[in-house]
Amino acid sequence: MINVERFLQEHMVPLAALVLALVTIAPYLIYEKLRSKKVRGQIAEARETGMSEPVTIHPKVNRAICIGSGACVKACPEKTVLGMVEHKSMTICSSQCVGHGACARSCPVGAIELVFGSEKRGVDIPEVYPNFETNVRRLFIAGELGGMGLIKNSVLQGQQAVEYIKEDLRANPYRKLDNVHDLVIVGAGPAGLAATLQAKKLRLKSITVEREEEVGGAILSYPRAKVVMTSPVDIPLYGKMSKREISKENLMALFKEIVIKTRLKIYVNEGVVSATSRGGVFVVKTSKRELECRYLLLCVGRRGTPRKLGVPGEASSKVMYRLLEPERFGYCKALVVGGGDSAVEAAMALADQEGTRVTLSYRGKAFTRIKRQNREKLEKAEREKKLKILLQTNVTQIFEKSVRLSRGEETADLPNDYVFVFAGGQPPNEFLKKVGVNIETKYGSR
């Protein structure tokens, strides 16, 4: 016969521990199961809508060595790129990655690698070594053109590239000539501006040319009030830019302040036409003159020249490829063409103008490359009838007072005053090839 009192004395502590463990662990296991189910649903939705296909750089998770710390998910500011499934990290929306690199840096076991392209979609990237030098000796690339589009990364790369150039100069000194610069920097976006400041700090004989009428690079094409910063950044000769978020207008004003405060000289409205290497010296032809230099640093971005539609009437003055001042376009009929963040942001900026009727035309079945915040804002604007969305449509002809769109074999003419085209840009691959830079197509690799 069982001695109940003795049994309880012997087994009470283990039973209590078991109950406590169940009470403690069970909610966690249920939470993890629900979280995994939610993330799997997000992954399935991303694949269905095409959001899982990366535009450029994105994280690749090695689940074989992932320990499930979740540090990468917490570190990513975009919040929709990574998620946890069965205690391990998985990529959800690769197309939303903008190259922060915070996920890879936060992983305690190195289970995340930032790669370009995917098995389905290749991305053309110039051959660039870790010191930012290309396969062409003394020709360097920094910033977006090399695959890193984030402002903070571009600033850091521009600065580091010049530091490497200075080190190479020390190791390979040469006779100074009055007409030969140490360095020519092409482009005055975030990378080019930082490189110019660093070159001045290190007392290099350098010159910077920019094809636009002011500094800013790709930021110049952003709509007004677009927030373009996500983390603080150190600017050479200026100090820390500590704001985590800053609008386009404020960032452009800051760039101007930096140029004035540091007495920086940048030659604007001067684009580069060609570059050749001759006797250890680069000959850089611009729209205004010919420059010679020992080192050449390209900070021109991936956009290059805007991609055009190639339809009759596109040469009209009513067709534009960027939106700088939406307030100028009140009380008009505007068509925005494109399916990326720039197109969506431009369409919403125009829709906010009094009396403006906006139509957004995109050739795809869904907007697969836009940020979650933009998707939510766009859906809200459509519900409120602030704009009209026409998917699977293409512009076939542009007239003085209308635009012809096609969907399959059907066509329709829309009354129209302005057309804004955001079809991406043509990377300067041909320019790079002529200089001798190798272009590699990446399919999910570094």
Which DSSP symbol is given to 307? Answer: P
Higher-confidence position of 213 and 358: 358
User: Rounded mean pLDDT of 273-277?
Assistant: 92
Per-residue pLDDT, 6? 60
Highest mean pLDDT among 224-238, 282-296, 358-372: 282-296
Over residues 305-331, the mean pLDDT reads 90
Is 442 a residue whose pLDDT tops 90? no
Output the CA angle 380-383-384, nearest 5 degrees: 85
Q: How many whole angstroms separate alpha carbon 381 and alpha carbon 388?
A: 9
Whole-prediction pTM value?
Answer: 0.75
- Please spell the DSSP secondary structure of 234-298, one letter per residue: EETTTEEE--S--BHHHHHHHHHHHHHHTT---B-S--EEEEEEETTEEEEEESS-EEEEEEEEE
Q: Which of 111, 270, 83 is nearest to 187 (CA)?
A: 270
- The pLDDT value recorded for residue 210 is 94
SS3 state of residue 28: helix
Instruction: Give 308's DSSP letter.
Output: P
Highest mean pLDDT among 16-20, 116-120, 253-257: 253-257
Residue 123's pLDDT is 78
Q: Please state which CATH number belongs to domain 49-121.
A: 3.30.70.20
Percent of the chain with pLDDT over 90: 51
Rounded-to-integer distance, Cα 423 and Cα 127, Å: 25
Q: Average pLDDT of 217-232?
A: 69
Instruction: For the chain, give every domain's residue range.
Output: 49-121, 124-304+427-442, 307-424
Given the DSSP bridges, would you call strands 290-298 and 139-141 parallel, antiparallel or unpaired? parallel
Judged against a pLDDT cut of 90, whether residue 413 lies above it is answered with: yes
DSSP 46: H
- Selection from 169, 162, 163 nearest residue 280 by Cα: 169
Higher pLDDT, 284 or 222: 284
- Range 398-413 average pLDDT: 96
Q: Is the pLDDT of residue 164 over 70?
A: yes
Q: What does the alpha-carbon distance between residue 333 and residue 417 come to, in Å, rounded to a whole number?
A: 5
Q: Which residue has the higher pLDDT, 274 or 117?
A: 274
Decide the pairing of beta strands 206-209 and 319-320: unpaired
Average pLDDT of span 346-373: 91
Tell me which H or E stretch contains 317. Answer: none
Placement of tokens 């920086």 in the chain = 264
> Is the pLDDT score of 141 beyond 60?
yes
Q: pLDDT-based confidence at 353, cuts 50/70/90?
A: very high
CA dist 251 → 191, 242, 259 (Å): 14, 12, 12
Given this model, what pLDDT does residue 138 score?
95
Q: How far, in Å, CA of 391 to CA of 394, rounded?
A: 9
| CATH number for the domain running over 307-424 | 3.50.50.60
DSSP secondary structure code for residue 48 in this structure: H
**Does the pLDDT of residue 16 top 70, yes or no?**
no
CATH 3.50.50.60 fits 124-304+427-442, yes or no: yes
Which of 19-33, 61-75, 330-344, 353-367 shows the lowest mean pLDDT across its residues?
Answer: 19-33
pLDDT of res. 284: 96
9 vs 100, which has greater pLDDT?
100
Residues 286-294 have a mean pLDDT of: 96
Summarised one tens digit per residue, pLDDT across range 176-199 is: 888 899 999 999 999 999 999 999
**pLDDT number for residue 44:** 87
DSSP letter, residue 313: T
Same fold: 49-121 with 124-304+427-442: no
- Provide DSSP, 179-243: TEEEEEEE--SHHHHHHHHHHHHTT--EEEE-SSSSS-GGGGGSPTT-B---S-EEETTTEEE--
Q: Distances in Å between the alpha carbon of 5 and those of 13, 14, 16, 18, 250?
A: 13, 15, 16, 19, 77
Q: What pLDDT score does 2 carry?
A: 56
Side chain identity at residue 271, one-letter code: G
Q: Please give the mean pLDDT across all residues of the chain.
A: 87
- pLDDT at position 226 is 66
Task: Return the pLDDT at 18.
Answer: 63
